[in-house]
């Protein structure tokens, strides 16, 4: 009898534990496997970067690369790193924080203006995502950022070193999108349109709210969409001009979205993931008034960096979306039919590298950043 009672007790205790590790009720959106027909390789173009985070192509073929500890470097056409460009803003270089994304202004050739997102040290231990604009002056060892101005600050500041978001994407009309995370410990605030936590904002080139933003009661005027967890990948579709974002889930539930003005993307009320403790998050996977993702991963890949391929080196890749994976240590190729994901391929898993950023290069190659203390710039080309 004692053995039977013990067995019954164990069964009761194990039921919630086992159910908590099952996938969410909705079917996992796992697309059929695809395979690239032509052999490829990842060439090391530059190395010796400390946790590189963002990459931008200069018109003359050189690169701008951020390093999370707070350095901006110019990478020459020969792959050599410049000394740190002087004048970079002071950053909170801890946890996931630091100097993050970099983007050229659409008129860079004439203005030499660049934009930098970064974890901004505020009062005491508080931090937040900020966006700075500056003019890149000089070249090589004499390069410097001048007229540096912080044009936007995430509010409120929060005592956390996680979930800064921070991807910068310019729209075709010259406005820019900036992604901002929920700061991890303040996830419920992603549903509060009166602040910037877990939000996507659309700004003018000067950092003001874009006049075309949704005008909804209680929403700050710079907010485009709400209910995001931590978007570290974003890219503009080359045909439609629509913004696609890819955000981290918790344990499962990484999402691809095409954020629309004034819409709510659900976090943390709905999600396809569970908490790191395996506890349930929110109310489930669906709720009226909240948007469903285009695609999601379970288990998580930890997405960072995204680009649509437009080059000619891999004709079969035209129009495909590529997403970097940190925990997944791979490059994910997503085959699209319109705005639906119809195929997926995992590439470069043999490298064992955390892929931080993905860019569609002007030379037809895909360019990647690897996230490590000895990070690299990689160039993906046919073998």
Could you report the per-residue pLDDT of 321-365, keeping only the tens digit for each?
999 999 999 999 999 999 999 999 999 999 999 999 999 999 999
Q: Quote the CA–CA distance of 201 and 372 in Å, as a whole number.
A: 29
- Looking at residue 30, its pLDDT comes to 84
Residue 23 has pLDDT above 70, yes or no: no
Instruction: Single out the catalytic residue among 163, 196, 228, 332.
Output: 163
Section 146-153 average pLDDT: 98
| Omega within 30 of 0 (cis) for the link into 299 | yes
Residue 3 has pLDDT above 60, yes or no: no
Residue 16 has pLDDT above 60, yes or no: no
pLDDT band at 141 (very low <50, low <70, confident <90, very high): confident
C-alpha torsion 234→229→190→279, nearest 10: 160
Q: What percent of the chain has pLDDT over 70?
A: 92
What would the pLDDT profile of 51-96 be if each residue is shown by its tens digit?
A: 999 999 999 999 999 999 999 999 999 999 999 999 999 999 999 9
> Are 249 and 256 in contact, with CB atoms under 8 Å apart?
no
What would the pLDDT profile of 278-319 be if each residue is shown by its tens digit?
A: 999 999 999 999 999 999 999 999 999 999 999 999 999 999
What would the pLDDT profile of 157-215 be if each residue is shown by its tens digit?
A: 999 999 999 999 999 999 999 999 999 999 999 999 999 999 999 999 999 999 999 99
Residue 4 has pLDDT above 50, yes or no: no
- Looking at residue 21, its pLDDT comes to 30
pLDDT band at 19 (very low <50, low <70, confident <90, very high): very low
Residue 7 has pLDDT above 60, yes or no: no
> Are 369 and 356 in contact, with CB atoms under 8 Å apart?
yes
Residue 131 has pLDDT above 70, yes or no: yes
- Looking at residue 5, its pLDDT comes to 39
What's the CATH superfamily of 33-382?
TolB, C-terminal domain (2.120.10.30)
- Looking at residue 140, its pLDDT comes to 75
Q: Quote the CA–CA distance of 9 and 11 in Å, as a whole number.
A: 5
Residue 133 has pLDDT above 50, yes or no: yes
Q: What percent of the chain has pLDDT over 90?
A: 91
Domain coordinates in residue numbering, the chain: 33-382
Q: Quote the CA–CA distance of 302 and 326 in Å, as a whole number.
A: 5
Among left, alpha and beta (phi > 0; psi -120 to 50; other), residue 106 is alpha
- Looking at residue 28, its pLDDT comes to 52
**Is there a catalytic annotation at residue 210?**
no
Residue 26 has pLDDT above 80, yes or no: no
DSSP SS3 for 57 = strand
- Looking at residue 14, its pLDDT comes to 32
Q: Quote the CA–CA distance of 251 and 91 in Å, as a whole number.
A: 29
Q: Which residues of 83-106 are buried (b: 16+ CB within 10 A; e: fewer)?
A: eebebbbebbbbebbbbbbbbbbb
């Amino acid at each position: 009898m004692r053995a039977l009672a013990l067995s019954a007790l164990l069964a009761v205790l194990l039921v919630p534990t086992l159910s908590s590790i099952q996938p969410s009720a909705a079917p996992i959106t796992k697309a059929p496997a695809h395979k690239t027909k032509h052999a490829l390789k990842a060439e090391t173009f530059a190395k010796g970067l400390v946790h590189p985070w963002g990459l931008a192509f200069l018109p003359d073929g050189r690169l701008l690369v951020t390093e999370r500890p707070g350095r901006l470097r110019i990478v020459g056409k020969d792959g050599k790193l410049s000394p740190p460009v002087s004048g970079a803003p002071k950053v909170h270089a801890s946890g996931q924080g630091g100097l993050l994304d970099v983007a050229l202004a659409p008129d860079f050739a004439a203005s030499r203006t660049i934009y930098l997102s970064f974890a901004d040290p505020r009062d005491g231990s508080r931090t937040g995502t900020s966006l700075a604009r500056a003019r890149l002056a000089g070249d090589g060892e004499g390069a410097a950022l001048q007229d540096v101005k912080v044009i936007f600050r995430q509010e409120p500041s929060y005592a956390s070193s996680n979930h800064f978001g921070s991807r910068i994407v310019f729209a075709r009309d010259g406005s820019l999108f900036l992604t901002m995370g929920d700061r991890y410990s303040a996830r419920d605030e992603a549903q509060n349109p009166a602040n910037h936590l877990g939000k996507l904002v659309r700004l003018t080139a000067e950092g003001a709210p874009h006049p075309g933003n949704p005008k909804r009661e209680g929403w700050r005027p710079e907010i485009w969409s709400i209910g995001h967890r931590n978007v570290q990948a974003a890219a503009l579709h080359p045909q439609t001009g629509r913004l696609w974002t890819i955000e981290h889930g918790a344990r499962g539930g990484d999402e691809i979205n095409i954020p629309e003005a004034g819409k709510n993307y659900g976090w943390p009320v709905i999600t396809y993931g569970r908490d790191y403790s395996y506890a349930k998050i929110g109310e489930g996977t669906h709720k009226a008034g909240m948007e469903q993702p285009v695609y999601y991963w379970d288990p998580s890949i930890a997405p960072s960096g995204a680009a649509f391929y437009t080059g000619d080196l891999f004709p079969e890749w035209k129009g495909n979306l590529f997403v970097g994976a940190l925990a997944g240590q791979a490059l994910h190729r997503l085959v699209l039919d319109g705005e639906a994901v119809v195929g997926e391929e995992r590439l470069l898993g043999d490298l064992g590298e955390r892929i931080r950023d993905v860019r569609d290069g002007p030379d037809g190659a895909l360019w990647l950043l690897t996230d490590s203390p000895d990070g690299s710039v990689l160039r993906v080309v046919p073998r």
